[in-house]
C-alpha cells in the first residue's frame, strides 16, 4: 500500500478525487501541498505533458507523461528524472486541476 492506494481505488470506481501531494519532484507545475484534482481517464486521450496518477515499478506517482511509444507511456517528474515505462493499465487518472 502506498500513499495513493485509496485514491486509485476511487478512480477505478469512476470517482474524481482531490488530495494534496507532498514533495518537490513536480515543482513548477505542482508545489508541495497544493490541492490536485484527478479524474478517471481514457488512456487513448493521454498526451505528452499530461500529469497522471500512476504506478511505476510498484511506486505511486503524480508525474508527467514524458513520451508515448505505441501502447507505452514514459513517466517522469518535472526535474528531468525518468521513472520508467508503463502501459495504460498502470495509469489511473489525469490531473485536471491544481490550485491553492
Q: Which domain holds residue 59?
A: 5-99
User: Using one digit for the tens of pLDDT, what is the confidence trace for 10-48?
Assistant: 999 999 999 999 999 999 999 999 999 999 999 999 999
Q: Give me the count of residues in the chain.
A: 100
Q: Tell me the pLDDT of the chain averaged across its residues.
A: 96
| Mean pLDDT of all residues in 77-92 | 97
Do residues 62 and 36 lie in contact, with contact meaning Cβ atoms separated by under 8 Å? yes
Residue 1 has pLDDT above 90, yes or no: no
% of the chain exceeding 70 in pLDDT: 99
pTM of the model: 0.96
Instruction: Kindly report the CATH number assigned to the domain that includes residue 49.
Output: 2.10.109.10
Strand order in the sheet with 82-87: 17-19, 35-39, 91-99, 51-56, 59-69, 72-76, 82-87
3-class SS of residue 79:
coil
Q: Give the number of domains in the chain.
A: 1
Amino acid at each position: 500500500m502506498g500513499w495513493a492506494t485509496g485514491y486509485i481505488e476511487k478512480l477505478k470506481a469512476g470517482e474524481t478525487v482531490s488530495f494534496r501531494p507532498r514533495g518537490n519532484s513536480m515543482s513548477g507545475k505542482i508545489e508541495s501541498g497544493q490541492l490536485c484534482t484527478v479524474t478517471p481517464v481514457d488512456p487513448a486521450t493521454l498526451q505528452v505533458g499530461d500529469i497522471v496518477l500512476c504506478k511505476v515499478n510498484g511506486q505511486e506517482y503524480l508525474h508527467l507523461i514524458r513520451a508515448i511509444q505505441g501502447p507505452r507511456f514514459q513517466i517522469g517528474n518535472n526535474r528531468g528524472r525518468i521513472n520508467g515505462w508503463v502501459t495504460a493499465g498502470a495509469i489511473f487518472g489525469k490531473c485536471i486541476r491544481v490550485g491553492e
